Amino acid sequence: MIIHSAGHPPILRLLTLSVLLLVLGDLGMAFLHCFPRALMHVPGLLVFLAALFLMWFYRDPERRATAPPGALLAGADGRVIQVLRREHIPELGGPGTQVSIFMSPLDVHVNRVAAAGRVAAVDYRPGKYLMAFHEKSSELNEACLLVIEDEAGRRTAQRQIAGFLARRVVCSVEPGQRLERGQRYGIIKLGSRMDHFLPAAVRVDLRTGQRVKAGESILGEWT
């Protein structure tokens, strides 16, 4: 199992702490004979289980897009919680569709690019930590907006949004960088959300409640 690099430091810290606690448990048994042997190892085992959970959370599976060239792909794993037609999307400067995906702590949290193109803008915004499925989380929570412009000059955008448990949004790309559709570009730590902003020229057939996978599931297609 591949683990995203953002997970390496916290996992190593927990594994180290787990080993230390287990060693201390062995030492403690030499002096505290009144405590059951298994009880002395409980703290170390609990920390080890926490490390296993982080390994699962930071997993980074390979994905292969089989969608047609004109399709835009989901940028996050999770459940579609909103498909909203909007008269004006500031991120695009015109009408379009907002597709919001909620990521639970059990979903893969590595984010991928919905469409190939040049990074036109990266805009980080500090903010609150409302529940990721809260309507106002898109406007108020810590977030990072990525705008992609393809060779035809068409723009799409996607915003990583921190949730109640998530306390950090990681975006590892810069303006001017060329990205391929489905390419990894960041991660959000723990429960979170991603909003996609698609121009009116994109036909969206998704429905709320539908589950999608980053880099594989189709958000819509250019018309």
Of the candidates 93, 95, 97, the one whose C-alpha atom is nearest the C-alpha of residue 220 is: 97
SS3 5: helix
Has 137 been annotated as catalytic? no
Closest of 65, 67, 212, 69 to residue 150, by C-alpha: 69
Torsion of CA 61, 65, 70, 73, to 10 degrees: -20
* Catalytic residue from among 18, 100, 138, 192: 192
HSE, CB side, 13 Å, CA atoms: give it for residue 185: 34
> Hey, which residues are catalytic here?
192
